[in-house]
Amino acid sequence: MTSELLQQVRAIDPASGADRTADVWIENGTVRAIEPTFATADGELPAGTIIRDVRGCVLAPGLTDLYSHSGEPGDDSVETLASLQAAAAAGGFTRVAILPDTDPCLDRPEVIATVRDRAEGGATRLLIWGALTSSRGGDRLSEMTELAAAGVVGLSDGAPIEDLLLLRRQLEYAQPLGLPLAIWPYSTRLTGGGTAREGVDSLRFGLVGDPAMSETALLAAAIECVAELGVPVHFMRVSTARGVELIDRAKQQGLDITASTAWTHLLLSTRGLRRYDPNFRLAPPLGTPRDRDALIDAVQSGTIDAIAIDHRPIAYEDKTVAFAEAPPGTIGLELALPLLWQEFVEPGRWSPLELWRALSLSPARCLGHEPPRLQAEAPAELVLFEPNRTWTVSPETLKSRSCNTPWLGRQIAGRVVQTYRHGL
């Protein structure tokens, strides 16, 4: 039996809108009580209850990551399933969904079963996206019905689907399965080989520009497909102000869509490219300051439903090359919560409830899952977070096997004290 009392913690539950200071009693993986002050006299708590004074800490539902990348199977050197789960737990994530870009690809039931077995009992719950197309080739549909029966969380290639006829077929075949369908609206044919979002900064820094229409052209076409077929779709990696406008208009028209953006695009913009740091090389590329402002406002308003981490581990030697030659991607499971808190909650731009809605409540709902809750008699799927604890980002302090991040070597504020995954 385990029993602990967290005294005078800031208890947050975005589903109910609760944000209060309270004593929280957790026993055997269940939240037993949330009281302004919990009596600790003899007989009130089981013998052996651990009492912790956690003033200044936040206790809230565990976070859900909509999509990230695992090295295993295929490249265990950059990330194993175990290290991915450990990094997720260290960042407060109790659920993390991986995209099918592994080797072998997650496009067959037997591969899904192998990955699930390997991840069983890990530090956080692993969810699996099944591939939309065979081997993620973008030209032939996968066996969606078999993948659904294998228990995938949803269907997505995690890569652009530029064949609009194929996209229409995907929507038609996926409709009766009742699974989330995640589409990345991005045209590699329109990028022109660009490595930075087209604008003043790309010109100033001498980087080939990637126009906003590489996102918006495919997004507009996909929205037309949704309007015609009535199939719910999740649009991933929205990164431009114009993309936000299209999402907002589609929602106002009553289309059944949700959308997410990557955490990096809320914190960084093309202004940071002056350093030519290859860790700023992302896909889609970082937006202009106007794009960033639009994304920030859209997350707060709910136009963009969720913040995704899109954790992509990359080997040091592969990332330490010229900016334009670097493979796009960055890690983030251990960094997103503290950096977003310091950027938006600490100065009062967002409330803690708004941040938790975008990192916990809405991502779970985008997947069609019941979100974790902080309420009496609910499973203790929670994160205990200390906003003011400082630490230095280094290979020694990270649980991930990779350290491709712009924050490497920097001291940041905010650290997860404990992640509870009971009841999963």
Residue whose token pair is 């990192």: 359
- Which of these is catalytic: 65, 291, 305, 310? 310
> Exposure string (b/e) for 31-47, b if CB count within 10 Å is 16 or more?
bbbbeeebeeeeeebee
Question: Largest alpha-carbon pair distance within the chain?
Answer: 72
Cα separation, 182 vs 156, whole angstroms: 5
> Exposure string (b/e) for 93-105, b if CB count within 10 Å is 16 or more?
bbbbbbbbbbeeb
How many C-beta neighbours within 10 Å does residue 313 have? 26
265 within 8 A of 176, measured Cβ to Cβ: no
- The separation between the first and the last C-alpha atoms of the chain, rounded to the nearest angstrom, is 17
- Structure tokens, 335: 């960094």
Cα separation, 338 vs 385, whole angstroms: 9
Amino acid, single-letter form, for residue 115: V
Cα separation, 34 vs 111, whole angstroms: 43
Burial of 111 (0-12, 13-18, 19+ CB in 10 A): buried
* Annotation marks residue 23 as catalytic: no
Strand partners, 133: 141
How far, rounded to the nearest angstrom, does the alpha carbon of residue 18 sit from its chain's CA centroid? 23
Q: Give me the active site residues, please.
A: 310
